[in-house]
A and B are shown apart, each in its own frame.
Chain A
Amino acid sequence: MSEEEKDTTAEDSSPLVFQKAKDKFQDAILDLSEELSELTLVVRKDFAYELLEYLKSDADLSYNFLVDVTAVDYSLMEDVLTKYDYARFMVVYHLYSYKTGHRVRVKTPIHEKELSIRSVTSLWKSAGWLECETYDMFGITFENHPDLRRILMPDDFEGYPLCKDYPLRGRGERETFDFERQNA
């Protein structure tokens, strides 16, 4: 009796978005965590788009505002690497719901040999440049993106500056640009 009670309270206390995501996507959800009163869902790459679409369209959740898209290069964090099968990058989406006022973070591991993920531009228009920037800084391509280009770095820039193996100084600095060739 007391155990049952405990179980139900435990279920009730887990946030709605976790329950719903777990019900619908089951094994595709790799991790659920609540840290510093923030909710984080880690989902397999193939289901990231479906999950985001579901979070946006579900009437109770309605995470209708895509706050941010970015990525993190975890190559120097050994424990995260081992936890997610040596996936080097994580694409991170931050969502907010104007209806409920809740936030959620969705992360999806990306392996270096397969640096691409489906674009969410068809769900949110704001994703356009946010995904461009992620591509520009990490080299992760977004499939079905209408206009994926380097937006901050020059078009002929080599390398991806926010990767951990890109040095702070030296490579790709201004004095190494070949201005004459560009003007010709």
Chain B
Amino acid sequence: MQADMERVAGEKMILNFGPQHPATHGTLRLVLELDGETVLKATPHLGYLHTGFEKLGEHLDYNQYIVVTDRMNYLSPLSNNFGYVLAVEKLLGLEVPKRGEYVRVLMAELSRLADHLLWLGMGALDLGAFTAFLYGFREREKLYSIFEKTTGARLTTSYTRVGGVLRDLYDGFEEEVRTFLSEFPKTLKEVHTLLTRNRIWMDRTKEVGVISGEDAISYGLTGPCLRASGIEHDLRKAEPYSCYEDFDFEVPVGMNGDVYDRYLVRMEEMVQSCHLVRQALDNLPEGPVNVPDNKIILPEKEDAYGHIEGLIHHFKIIMDGHGVQPPRGEIYSATESPNGELGFYIVSDGSGTAYRIRIRPPSLLQFQVVPHMIEGGMVSDIVAVLGSLNIIAGELDR
């Protein structure tokens, strides 16, 4: 264990957990005060990956900022892209064609699967279960190939645009996703057999990192971590955005609010995401994916090169201060990202650049709760708790 140890007066020991410890998944740091193996006090430190995304938002135009959202929760960039453009579209009062909405939901749900698979793999790996990690990553790789074919990138997808998406789905997308959907439940079942009734897994995760529903609300937990504490709340149901009202799915809820329940909730969410993807494929409408307005969406290349009007539109959107310009106003728009409520608060002064962009990250509030969960527990529980919360440093520090 790479850690900086130091003896202090009395029986207590100070242990630095991170920021480069492999079990911290990024640059998190906890300063622990230990009595033997019991954690007396934990002080989280953050900011190691602070990049000033909110400041950047005041200097980039609305479409340029999509690139920055990739780098927030880098395990599910498609969800971030989606959440951000929804906020801008609300400011503009834009309505994206039905097919565009379906494509976005499709990609967001696939990205939720990819995120949960990584969380599953890493969480299990941290507790010594290597097989689940390999199974999870095998499936995740298939998803990433699909993302790569659709968006042109594996991680920095930047798939959405204000008013639509980068491009429509490629030929053969449906077939590939359906193949994935037919194989995926088998893997999920295998993971269930590996972990769910596994004696060691249960001992390590049951009644560890418990948080009550009331505390979870007070600490501002959202997403799977909130639902594991018995609060049934999912923004896709509570405030259906985009076209989620068209879909039929269930919201899994836990009871005990421990690591084990967070595991079960996320496992079930993957099943529900598969349902959503299947429904989206079945009902995928025909038609354009982008709003038919070249003042918002770049014109086709032939248009830009062959017609004066297309050229002007292209020029206007690209040139600083001529592109997408929402009216003055402010908006808070939240989406259910794989980790919880991802909100964007945008203040517009009517220009092409946001006056202020605030990102409400689920990870920040999930990291804040860590001391509450681990104080009084054992050092080895920290790994289980951090794994179950799925804190993403890029989103935590922004």
Q: Which A residues lie at the B interface, using CB under 8 A?
A: 35-36, 38, 40, 64-68, 70, 72-73, 76-77, 92, 94, 98, 101, 103, 105, 124-126, 128-130, 133, 137, 150-154, 161-162, 166, 168
A161 touches B52 (CB 8 A): yes
Question: Which chain A residues border B365 with CB–CB below 8 Å?
Answer: 126, 129-130
Leading 6 A-B pairs by shortest Cβ distance: A126-B220, A152-B47, A68-B360, A152-B50, A70-B358, A125-B218
Residue in chain A with minimal CB distance to B215: A125
B331 touches A124 (CB 8 A): no
> How distant is B75 from chain A, measured CB to nearest CB, in Å?
21
Question: Which chain B residues border A137 with CB–CB below 8 Å?
Answer: 54
> How distant is B27 from chain A, measured CB to nearest CB, in Å?
12
Question: Which chain A residues border B239 with CB–CB below 8 Å?
Answer: 101
Please count the residue pairs between chain A and chain B whose beta carbons lie under 8 angstroms apart in the complex: 94
B368 touches A35 (CB 8 A): no
Interface of B is mostly: mixed
| B101 interface residue per 8 A CB criterion | no
Question: Which chain A residues border B358 with CB–CB below 8 Å?
Answer: 68, 70, 92
A151 to B398, CA, bound (A): 12
Query: Is the interface on chain B under 10, 10 to 19, 20 to 34, or 35 or more residues?
Result: 35 or more
Q: Could you jot down 9 A-B contacts, CB within 8 Å?
A: A36-B329, A38-B332, A40-B330, A94-B343, A126-B219, A126-B368, A153-B50, A161-B55, A168-B59
A103 to B345, CA, bound (A): 13
B47 touches A126 (CB 8 A): no
Question: Which chain B residues border A133 with CB–CB below 8 Å?
Answer: 364
Question: Which chain A residues border B220 with CB–CB below 8 Å?
Answer: 65-67, 124-126, 130
- Taking each of B91, B368, B372, which has the highest tally of chain A beta carbons within 10 Å of its own beta carbon? B368
B50 touches A68 (CB 8 A): no
- Taking each of A35, A36, A70, A130, which has the highest tally of chain B beta carbons within 10 Å of its own beta carbon? A36
Known pairs A126-B219, A126-B368; A77 contacts B349 (CB<8 A): yes
A77 touches B332 (CB 8 A): no
B47 touches A67 (CB 8 A): no
A51 to B45, CA, bound (A): 32
- Taking each of A38, A67, A70, A103, which has the highest tally of chain B beta carbons within 10 Å of its own beta carbon? A67
A65 to B217, CA, bound (A): 6
